[in-house]
Structure 1
Amino acid sequence: MLKYEEVIEYIKNNINTGELSHSKRLPSIRSIQKLFQFSTGTVLKAYEKLEQDHIIYSVPKSGYYVVDNFHTQNSSKYPIIDFSAVNLNAEAFPYQNFQHCLNKSIDLYKEKLFTYSDPRGLNSLINVLSKHIQNYQIFTNPNNIIITSSSQQALNILSIMPFPNGKSNILVEQPTYYGMIKSLELNNIATLGINRDLNGINLDELEKLFKYGNIKFFYSIPRFHNPTGTSYSRLEKQEIVKLAHKYDVYIVEDDIAADLDINKKNDPMFSYDTSSKVIYLKSYSKILMPGLRVAALILPNLLIDKFLLYKKWTDMNSPILSQGALEIYIKNGMFDDHMKQLVSLYNSRMRCLKDTLLKYKHPRIQYNIPESGYFACIYVNGSLNYDKIFDSLNRKNIKMFNTSECFLKEYKCHNYFRITISEVNETQIIKNIPIVLDVIQKYLD
């Protein structure tokens, strides 16, 4: 049994014996660490796994608690309604097709499984991707594509490595992807923020930050932003790229939801870049499965050697088996077929969410519901008792992501509620979104 599994077993036993119940707070991370003499990371991993399995939930600034109706929540009577999950619902993934690709990958690349390979990634996959991403108006030399073990690895390396512009600060939208915030915090990277609300970004403020902020790169999610679900207009993207060229600032464009966009004329910032300032990042894990851990990064020539040096001594090379399976999945046309079905599914759920939300009007509550993508957003203009809202929703078996985690400490905000539609069907949306709104209104000052 692994160390973190010992902690999980201990918590479960305490729940089953009645020592821990919904009304009692779980032991703190520190107390469990002392009890087992394990590292903080091991205990955190155990608590995160328990949270993922909907056995416990966290309350900001309070701790962890047992989910109400834990013993019955997996029955049809008490299902968990998960508006927090970003990963693809297991029911929506064609396992048989991908299993075929995995088996074929083993046959094709079995020799490479026993040796170290090119840190750039599997060359045959890179060639397939260089053609496939042209569907997104991404045209690049295959030599500029690097395969990473997830987008998180790419972001981590980009954050810590030096850039040719000699600058040191990183600029992020506020709010932004939680994983980027944590990576910057853990690496002690000097970080600045710029507000991005439901109306977009202030370009005048962005220019001042580019000019005076010593910005190494600007991390941005232009399309279906996490967590607001908003997208930049074509003019905004063009202007941001112009400013990057003018002030020698790189842009890291995280295009997580490119495959889900039904607007084929919605081009990425990369397509407007004529001065090699845009670094393009595309993950395949979120639209297929998290365990795939494959992302594609397109780098300007000046950054390639330095990035590969850092990557080589991070993981030597990304897993060959996953890369080979993805290559076959795309070449056989399975990926495109899968995406057509997924886009239709998510588009339908977003329409349902929009219809449901617009029935409930409140002078201090705004919504952003895009046509597709993962994320929609509720914004509340007023003071909120955030902790009580999440506590109340958890008691009703409704799970939502704590969007305040998407902010740098100095920008902390408790007015956004991210809604994802990956794990909920239309019936669940229609029934439970009114409950979410009622709870928010109850604790709106």
Structure 2
Amino acid sequence: MVTKYRGILEWMKQQIENEQLKAGDKLPSIRILAEQFQCSKNTVVKALLELEKQHIVYAKPKSGYYIVDNYRVPSPNENIDFLSAGPDERIIPYEDFQHCINQAIDHYKAQLFTYSEQQGLYSVRKELVKYLQNLQVFTKPERLVITSGSQQALHILSTMPFPNGKKKVLIEQPTYFGMIDTLQLNQSDTLGIDLTMDGIDFERLESLFRNNDIKFFYIVPRCHNPLGHHYTNEEKKKIVALAEKYDVYIVEDDYLAELDVDSKADPLFAYEPNGRIIYVKSFSKVFLPGLRIATVVLPKTMIDSFVRYKFSADFNTSALSQGALEIYLKSGMFHYHLENVKQLYINKMKTLLNACSSYLPSYISFTKPKSGFYLTIFLPSHIDVDKLIYLLHEKHIYVDNASRMYLVGNKQKAIRLSISQVYENKIDLGIQQLAACIMEMCERKKYNPLSFKSYL
């Protein structure tokens, strides 16, 4: 639902974009705008002040507001953005969260601007425990640590010692690039296990667990980045059982749990014996990335060590962000926000899947996620992925090179598409252009599609 305030901003920009209002034009009076939008004069003034801050309008004393000369509203339709992975800017709840920040300042006052509890504000952890129950994660506030985003949590887990005394890390291939980058920067001894839309080879997983000194297995159980893969509950139970058998910890990155369309799907944490699963939950993808808030559910034996490593990095996560999130959760605003978010992304993913099925040549394989942000397209071996990305860039179409989501020596020719910030009405055109570029590059090489191996 668009607020009156946001409606005024969007109307004004649209009027300029359509040249209904031009540089130097005087705007209707505050009274007329209030009548037009059926809102208070204060709401109109607030919108005009925001437009003035953006240098779209300016005020003449005792005269009114005018359009700034040479102002041009950037058109979102100029770009087709399959690259960005943050939440859709059109549904970020700026105003609602601003109220929460103001309330947090009033409620917590000095607490927010001094050093706070290293593990995170206890009242926030209590609220997060309630929220996690909706995701089938049942725990206690004492086991939670609030971190400055999930990336910080993954960095700490990659560097700190684990109770099993082991050193190596196992990851899916492909996987989240931020994790690969962290492991490489920390010079961690890392192994990979191939993941396709059919899952992983469990005999291979058991062999890796049995024959290697594996500290933990990093896994994205649903809405996988970059494939969009989802494990079944039975597969999750098998993974947990093997981890228990061979004394391997599991780091479960459940960053997009809210977008899972399967109401019966459980996290691995639901099957954990003896505190073997470390559950990481980010709020960046469905909420506000700049908030830098995530939470980690840890075994009791690891909390002190984890907090010590975190303290050496940043003392504590922003108390202001924590306090505002607590109020946002308590108020029910987050639940309402998620309902809108989920439906938007479901619709976008359906549109993307239909477009790929309709326009990509038959010799091109692509994953078929049931929900989430990401879809991966696998390319013929002769295709220069960087050149393809460059050709698309020239057409204002942006995609990601998925080869960076594999360990060195195991890279595939692939691109990742994200639906999070692309406009739904531009998806078809983007895939048509992508298909045309691929076919053109294949034609130049006189490519034989029958020789292309599917990685699905």
| TM-score for the superposition, normalised by structure 1 | 0.81
List gaps (5 residues or longer) in structure 2: 1-71, 448-456
Q: Is 2:425 the partner of 1:424?
A: no
Q: Is 2:304 the partner of 1:305?
A: yes
Q: Is 2:172 the partner of 1:177?
A: no
Q: Is 2:197 the partner of 1:198?
A: yes
Counterpart in 2 of 1:212? Answer: 211
Amino acid at match of 1:224: C
Is the contact made by 1:370 and 1:376 (CA closer than 8 Å) also made in structure 2? yes
When the two chains are superposed, the root-mean-square deviation of aligned CA atoms in Å is 1.7
TM-superposed CA distance for 1:331, in Å, is 0.5
Q: Secondary structure at the match of 2:383?
A: coil
> In 2, Cα distance between the equivalents of 1:104 and 1:386?
49
Is the contact made by 1:353 and 1:369 (CA closer than 8 Å) also made in structure 2? no
> In 1, Cα distance between the equivalents of 2:239 and 2:245?
10
Q: Secondary structure at the match of 2:165?
A: coil
Distance 1:78 1:286, change over 3 A: closer
Q: Is 2:316 the partner of 1:317?
A: yes
Q: Secondary structure at the match of 1:358?
A: helix
Counterpart in 2 of 1:246? Answer: 245
1:44-443 matched pairs, under 5 angstroms: 75-76=74-75, 79-360=78-359, 362-380=361-379, 382-414=381-413, 416-443=414-441
TM-superposed CA distance for 1:434, in Å, is 1.4
Q: Secondary structure at the match of 1:280?
A: strand
TM-superposed CA distance for 1:285, in Å, is 1.6
Is the contact made by 2:169 and 2:217 (CA closer than 8 Å) also made in structure 1? yes
TM-superposed CA distance for 1:431, in Å, is 1.3
Instruction: Describe the superposition over 1:60-107 as per-residue Cα deviations: whole angstroms up to 9, x where unpaired.
Output: xxxxxxxxxxxxx98549712110111012211121111000111111
Q: Secondary structure at the match of 1:409?
A: coil
Q: Structure 1 stretches (4+) deviating beyond 4 angstroms?
A: none
Amino acid at match of 2:418: T
Is the contact made by 1:250 and 1:277 (CA closer than 8 Å) also made in structure 2? yes
> In 1, Cα distance between the equivalents of 2:395 and 2:74?
14
TM-superposed CA distance for 1:262, in Å, is 2.0
| Count of equivalent residues | 373
Q: Secondary structure at the match of 1:281?
A: strand
Instruction: Describe the superposition over 1:236-295 as per-residue Cα deviations: whole angstroms up to 9, x where unpaired.
Output: 111111100000000000001001112211111111112321100000122112110000
Instruction: Describe the superposition over 1:171-224 as per-residue Cα deviations: whole angstroms up to 9, x where unpaired.
Output: 111111011111111111111111112222111111111111110001010101
Instruction: Describe the superposition over 1:334-358 as per-residue Cα deviations: whole angstroms up to 9, x where unpaired.
Output: 0000000000100111111112111
Q: Secondary structure at the match of 1:417?
A: strand
TM-superposed CA distance for 1:160, in Å, is 0.4
> In 2, Cα distance between the equivalents of 1:114 and 1:375?
38
Is the contact made by 1:78 and 1:397 (CA closer than 8 Å) also made in structure 2? no
Is the contact made by 2:360 and 2:435 (CA closer than 8 Å) also made in structure 1? no
> In 2, Cα distance between the equivalents of 1:127 and 1:317?
17
TM-superposed CA distance for 1:372, in Å, is 2.2
Is the contact made by 2:85 and 2:373 (CA closer than 8 Å) also made in structure 1? yes
Q: Secondary structure at the match of 1:173?
A: strand
Amino acid at match of 1:172: I
Distance 1:114 1:423, change over 3 A: closer
Amino acid at match of 1:423: Q
> In 2, Cα distance between the equivalents of 1:186 and 1:219?
16
Q: Percent identity?
A: 45
| TM-score for the superposition, normalised by structure 2 | 0.79
> In 2, Cα distance between the equivalents of 1:77 and 1:335?
26
Amino acid at match of 2:434: V
